Amino acid sequence: KFGLLGISIDRAVAEMLPGLREHYGVVVAAKAAYVPSQEVPVEPGDVIHAINQTRIATLETLRAAVEALKPGDPVVLEIERPGRTLFVAFEME
């Protein structure tokens, strides 16, 4: 639904991400060029740590959280972008 290619952060992936504040989450590896249903304000290299205050530890937990969303639901992602933590909000389409 979000048009993202994500990778769960494990020990090996965490070692490739110097300066990572939290050693869990899903790193955005790539974004689809066009997803007709949703534009998600994240970039490759961002790490998703939470969605609507639910901790995202793996790709499976991210998938489950996204699948539970319905059109019109508010979405707040806690993401880590190199050097800072951000909250991005949008409405599920």
Q: What is the pLDDT along the chain (93 residues), one digit of tens a residue?
A: 888 999 999 999 999 988 898 889 999 999 887 765 567 889 999 999 999 999 999 999 999 999 999 999 999 999 999 879 999 999 998
Find, among 93, 33, 43, the residue nearest to 69 by Cα: 93
Q: What is the per-residue pLDDT for 75?
A: 95
Strand 54-55 relative to strand 47-51: parallel, antiparallel, unpaired? antiparallel
Please give the DSSP secondary-structure letter assigned to residue 83. T
pTM (2 d.p.)? 0.89
How deeply is 8 buried, as exposed, middle or buried, from its count of CB atoms within 10 A (0-12, 13-18, 19+)? middle
